[in-house]
Amino acid sequence: MPATASGGARPEEAAEAPSASTSASVCMGTRPEELTARLVAAGPAAGAGCVGAAGGGGGAEVEHERVLALREIKNQIIGNRTKKLLYLRLGAVPAVVAALASPGASPAALVQAAAAAGSFACGVDDGARAVLDAGAVGHLTRLLAHPDEKVVDASARALRMIYQSRLAPKFDVNIGKNMDFVLSLLNSENENVTELAATIISHSCESSAEQLSLCSAGVPQKLISLFGGSMNLRDACLDSITAIIRNNRETASRFASMDHGKVFRSVVGLIHDRSPRTRLLTCLCLIALGHACPCHFQDKQIKTKLIMVLLELIEEPGQVGDEAPLALTTLIKDSLELQKQALMTNAVEKLSSHLLANSLETRRAVTILLALSELCSKLEESRSQLMSVEVSTLILEALKHDWADIRVAACSCLKNISRSPKVLSGGRLSCDTVIAPLVQLLCDSSTSVQVAALGAICNIAVNLTPRKSVLLHSGAVSQLVHLSKSMDPTLRLKSVWALRNIMFLLSPRDKDFVVKELTISTLSSLICDSEHFVQEQTLALVHNLVDGYLESANYVIGEDGMVIDAISRQLNNASAPGVCIQGMFVLANIAAGNELNKEAVMRVLLPHRTDCAKPSFVVKFLQSKDKQLRVATLWCLLNLIYPKCEASSGRVVRLQSSGVIPQVKNMINDPCLDCKLRVRMVLEHCVDNADDCFT
Amino acid sequence: MFLSRIVRHDLDSIDSPSSMASSKKVVTREEWERKLRDVKIRKEDMNRLVMNFLVTEGFVDAADKFRIESGTQPEIDLATITERMEVKRAVQSGNVQEAIEKINDLNPTILDTNPQLYFHLQQQKLIELIRAGKINEALEFAQEELAPRGEENQTFLEEIEKTVALLVFEDVKNCPYGELLDVSQRLKTASEVNAAILTSQSHEKDPKLPSLLKMLLWTQNQLDEKAAYPRINDFTTAALEDPSI
């Protein structure tokens, strides 16, 4: 079998290159199977003091062969995912790591083995797993103390790769001697080692306890002192500082006050650094600081500068430009003030033109779309700006793109644009052009796309009132009903939410259509869903269903009372407050109907065969700390005893004897004004009805 | 009184025949040279600029000699420059495998974290095989090495197609994409390699000197709108050319 071209020993090369590797490669062959076999056969290193290695050929020669085999494997796998997977399957990793473990291994072998191990862990999850399973971390850590500087470099680099991988082992600084270890690494003269320390720190900031310990141990100060080192080291330290302060008010404010704020100001200065990567990392650090302790971050100037710098960074090639829009999204998230600021610096325009000028099939397109989506979340003007002909066309195109991430981002844009009342009244993003593709995405193979499409449809449904026929004729309802039965709770939640929005202010005929698609039995089972969020949305859906038209109450109390039974069950089961509130609103609406309806509600509130020991949930609700629940319950009671009539009086008596009215009397001085008003009205009607009794 | 004299002086300039043609301020060569003489520049700064240029471009012997003769310390270890230059030389002479091995000896994380560079090196390898007329080896290499790159990352597919297309044509030099066989392609790859190594060593990949010259050009262009003054039009001579009136 000829040596593969990738391996590399071609006759011409062997002649001109003086390196030993090429000539040896001719002897040993460069096929992966051969190499792996030779490495495994070479066994553990003979060691300097070993006498009489079995099978002749001194230890030195075997060691030399091992070095060459390791070097060849390393050169084949670096950068090459396919080769990594091949060598993984051949079982090369344990042999490589074994070379690290050998007590007598030469520095040359250790350097090559470390490089190979690090490379296996880079970018390939299976490789990282194999390297970890073989125990590489322990050996490489030990080798950080090796006398040969090259071995230390190689081990530090390899460990760095491992700790940067997705499967990196947990490293808790609060356990054992871990903190001392990190501190000793930080104090090293070797930049590869200090960079490793920074990487480990970034990785081990999962809990606030870890962040606090690092802060207390003086790590931020140490990291800042390393800013004077090389650019790469400074970047790594910036990243570590961000990890220490992220979402932690305590560490963030301690950092901001370090050295009377001088440190903070020097970090701010880095916003204008020559290196784009440093600028981006600085922005991320300041953004984290701003979120963790807003009080230290009042300066509007810095925020404006951040927006401007990030908008410029979008033009940078490579990873920096790809991630800058994401940083911008994080910065402006949920902040009306910052979104206004961004709008004033022409963010929408700049991002849109960049999007239009480049291919959709890039990570940058995804992050830009997400940034544009966030920019439109609160501001009407951003939405108008975004809906130019070119961008609307692009977004529609993106809905059908091959990449799931692009589809998700496009749906996210549409969701926020649809918050605008103007959007669906014409223009490119009209109901006809948007609804059909969105409904199609409800059947998408990716769950995240389905969820994102549901979000957009939810908002469109709200804003389409009263012209919902478009939605109803698009096949959306049957898709939504289908998703409401999904195994995934998020899909159930969002599809029910969309149905709820559709149901809002719908005509009786259309309500009928939706209920027929959904079926009463599905509705009942959704009311008793395993997730309380789904229960709540379903009850809100029913609330919208019975709102406005008397006959709609039949959906709830008709068909053997399946729905009202389900509601009753939930109200009696100490469910989440949101569920109870919606449930009471439904009952209140039904109680506004005729006698049959009122009696049906009474049966829920005061079941016939009560064991008197257990008080009605009504009393519990009236005592709730949640004012919405108290108000909803009071409305229900009000509707039960109004208008004044014989039946109403009867109900008053029953409510009186079950302790409900006495509880209402206790609420005369309820702190909530709305409640107070309803309490007064209930009591007035009780008196009204009582008067009747006495005549 | 003092103020009015100055104003009159300015008025004189404006009224003088030489500046009648435009409203720009005119600066004579004599004035300009006088002002320039007043500007102080430190010798050490100049030396550092030169050293930065030599080091970034990789002129290691010159850098060493300059270090000895001027006493200026190089910003990075000259030994690393030697290694970097060996890699660059290997690429420029078409020995891609040697270059890859040297890069991995220098810093094994570079090619693992620069997929585009790794791809371009493998592409260059294929080009060299085609150039040497080793069509069978080239085909095997394209299949075993370049195709997987395309599977791992779709953005490389177009480049792969162009390169593989070279295999189809008899007269390779004159086919479409024939420019891939040009020496300039080797230089492009070599330059990419150089930049990646410099970045991994935390060194800026561009020397400072070109930035200064760009600044000069830009500043002159800005000033052109406001004044007529002796310009530097030829960087190599830095000769002041009288303002055209």
Judgement on whether residues B134 and B238 belong to the same structural domain of the protein: no
Judgement on whether residues B220 and B196 belong to the same structural domain of the protein: no
Question: Is B129 among the domain residues?
Answer: yes
Q: pLDDT tens, B121-150?
A: 999 999 999 999 898 999 999 999 999 988
* Domain ranges, residue B191: 76-200
Judgement on whether residues B109 and B137 belong to the same structural domain of the protein: yes
Any CB–CB contact under 8 A between B97 and chain A?
Answer: yes
Question: Is B188 among the domain residues?
Answer: yes
Question: Is B49 among the domain residues?
Answer: no
Q: How many CB pairs under 8 A join A and B?
A: 76
Which residues contact residue A610 at a Cβ distance below 8 angstroms, ignoring those fewer than 6 apart?
Answer: A616, A658
Residues of chain A contacting residue B200, judged by C-beta atoms under 8 Å apart: 232
- C-alpha triplet A207, A212, A213: angle, nearest 5°: 100
Judgement on whether residues B230 and B138 belong to the same structural domain of the protein: no
List helix spans (H) across A44-190.
59-77, 81-89, 92-101, 107-120, 125-133, 136-143, 149-164, 178-186
Site from A75, A194, A238 to mutate, B interface, most B CB atoms within 10 angstroms: A75
CB within 8 Å: B108 and A157: yes
Judgement on whether residues B127 and B236 belong to the same structural domain of the protein: no
Residues of chain B contacting residue A13, judged by C-beta atoms under 8 Å apart: 95, 97-98
Question: Is B84 among the domain residues?
Answer: yes
**Which residues in chain A show pLDDT less than 70?**
1-29, 43-58, 423-429, 431, 465-466, 609-614, 690-695
Question: Is B66 among the domain residues?
Answer: no
pTM for the model stands at 0.81
Question: Is B87 among the domain residues?
Answer: yes
Q: Give how far A438 is from chain B: nearest CA, Å.
A: 27
CB within 8 Å: B95 and A157: no
pLDDT for B194 equals: 92
Query: Chain A interface residues facing chain B, Cβ-Cβ under 8 Å?
Result: 4-6, 8, 13, 16-17, 19, 21, 71, 74-75, 78-82, 115, 118-119, 122-123, 154, 157, 160-161, 230-233, 274-275, 361
Judgement on whether residues B185 and B91 belong to the same structural domain of the protein: yes
Question: Is B50 among the domain residues?
Answer: no
pLDDT for B205 equals: 81
Last residue of a domain, one of B181, B200, B219: B200
Which residues contact residue A443 at a Cβ distance below 8 angstroms, ignoring those fewer than 6 apart?
Answer: A450, A479
Judgement on whether residues B156 and B99 belong to the same structural domain of the protein: yes
**Cβ-nearest to B108 among A19, A119, A232:** A119
Q: What H or E segment, with its residue span, contains residue B231?
A: strand B231-232
Residues of chain A contacting residue B104, judged by C-beta atoms under 8 Å apart: 74-75, 78, 115
Residues of chain B contacting residue A14, judged by C-beta atoms under 8 Å apart: none
**Which residues in chain B show pLDDT less than 70?**
1-22, 244-245
Judgement on whether residues B80 and B181 belong to the same structural domain of the protein: yes
CB within 8 Å: A79 and B101: no
Place of tokens 């010259």: B213
**Cβ-nearest to A161 among B98, B109, B118:** B109
Closest by CA position to A224, among listed A180, A270, A291, A277 = A270
Judgement on whether residues B131 and B234 belong to the same structural domain of the protein: no
CB within 8 Å: A230 and B204: no
The helix/strand/coil state of B232 is strand
Judgement on whether residues B128 and B190 belong to the same structural domain of the protein: yes
Judgement on whether residues B174 and B231 belong to the same structural domain of the protein: no
Place of tokens 């399946």: A562
List helix spans (H) across chain B.
2-15, 29-38, 43-57, 60-70, 78-92, 96-106, 109-112, 115-131, 135-141, 147-152, 157-165, 183-200, 208-224
- C-alpha triplet B139, B145, B148: angle, nearest 5°: 115
CB within 8 Å: A361 and B109: no
Residues of chain B contacting residue A231, judged by C-beta atoms under 8 Å apart: 202, 204
pLDDT for A428 equals: 63
Residues of chain B contacting residue A74, judged by C-beta atoms under 8 Å apart: 104, 108
Judgement on whether residues B162 and B222 belong to the same structural domain of the protein: no
Question: Is B144 among the domain residues?
Answer: yes
CB within 8 Å: A5 and B148: no
Report the number of distinct structural domains present in chain B: 2
Q: Give how far A366 is from chain B: nearest CA, Å.
A: 16
pLDDT for A547 equals: 86
Chain B: residue nearest A278 by CA? B202
Return the half-sphere exposure (C-beta side, CA atoms, 13 A cut-off) of residue B224. Answer: 12
What tokens does B207 get? Answer: 């020397």
**Cβ-nearest to B202 among A119, A123, A232:** A232
The dihedral region occupied by A561, where left means phi > 0, alpha psi between -120 and 50, and beta the remainder, is left
CB within 8 Å: A123 and B202: no
* Pairing label, strands B227-228, B240-241: unpaired
In chain B, which among 52-81 make CB contacts under 8 A with chain A? none
Chain B: residue nearest A108 by CA? B105
- Tell me the ipTM for this assembly: 0.78
Residues of chain B contacting residue A157, judged by C-beta atoms under 8 Å apart: 107-109
